[in-house]
Amino acid sequence: MMNIYATTISKREDRTTNEDAVRAEKGLIAVSDGAGGGGIFADKWSKYLLENLPKTPFSKYEQTDSWLDKIWEPYYDTQEAEAKRLGSMVLNKLYDEGSFATLAAAWQTQKNLWRWAAYGDSVVFHYQYDTHKLEHSFTRLADFAQPPYLVSCKDPMKKEGFRAGAFRPTRHSAIFAASDALSHYILMMYCLSCGEERQEEIDAVAQGHSRNAQLVRNAACLAWDAEIFQQRLHKLFDAARNERTFADMMTQLERDGLLGHDDYSLAVAIEENC
């Protein structure tokens, strides 16, 4: 039996809007990261996307594009009315840019089969406790430095940004989804725990000039192996059961120079015996 839960928190500044959204229920986990750096109403768009996820998974870009084509207009009409109330600057921003968000979701379609779809740099993961193997929907660690693909409320998605696949969990598995900064932390930890097998992936970031380079250099100074990664990952899962505990953990990871400053979201489906 799986325990399924999620939490999301904003940056810890006063009066900061959390632009992330999470969804966790039987047979479905999902994260959407509203992009506040462009467009408007990012928090509303991320929540709207997750609220309107279908009950069956996307396996092809065309399915996702068709779903988006069916749901965008009611959202746009609602926000257009709100923008008109708020004034011409807000309205023009909606018309010119719209709203943007990432999407990462996984659906349980059989007892031992979860199908996932992702667009952008929010990530879906599958971790096996017995083999210490981590699978994920992303490309590679260095790609977190690239501008992410974003789901727009008014423009078509790009086929090259869509990814889909399947995980086959066992009774020693966890399926989870996270927003970008937290996903970077998780994948960074895993790459470091793999030693020489993932050293090239680590070096590609550590020797670069992205904002994540220093995070990787900081983490590389610590001791890592498969057991340490598993302990840290399980501690993260436990923290996500309580918003305050999760917030405290994120704050500490930031202070330790291991985690970028952002909103943080995590949705988890984990076997009871893990």
pLDDT at 145: 95
Q: Which of 259, 257, 228 is nearest to 246 (CA)?
A: 259
Rounded to an integer, what distance in angstroms lies between the CA atom of residue 180 and that of residue 198?
20
**Mean of all residue pLDDT scores within the chain:** 95
242 Rama sector, left if φ>0, alpha if ψ -120 to 50, beta otherwise: beta
**pLDDT, tens only, 29-38:** 999 999 988 8
**pLDDT, tens only, 135-159:** 999 999 999 999 999 999 999 999 9
Strand partners, 113: 110
Calculate ∠ Cα 20-26-29, nearest 5°: 25
pLDDT at 38: 84
Strands (E) across 93-137 are located at: 100-101, 103-110, 113-119, 123-128, 133-136
**Alpha-helical runs (H) found in 87-158:** 88-96
- Residue 272 pLDDT more than 90? no
**pLDDT, tens only, 232-249:** 999 999 999 999 999 999
**Regarding predicted confidence, which is higher, 254 or 37?**
254
**pLDDT, tens only, 198-216:** 999 999 999 988 899 999 9
pLDDT at 273: 78
* Portion of the chain with pLDDT greater than 70, in percent: 100
Rounded to an integer, what distance in angstroms lies between the CA atom of residue 18 and that of residue 101?
12
**pLDDT, tens only, 54-101:** 999 999 999 999 999 999 999 999 999 999 999 999 999 999 999 999
pLDDT at 56: 95
Structure-token pair, residue 24 = 């966790």
* Residue 219 host element (H or E): helix 213-220
pLDDT at 14: 67
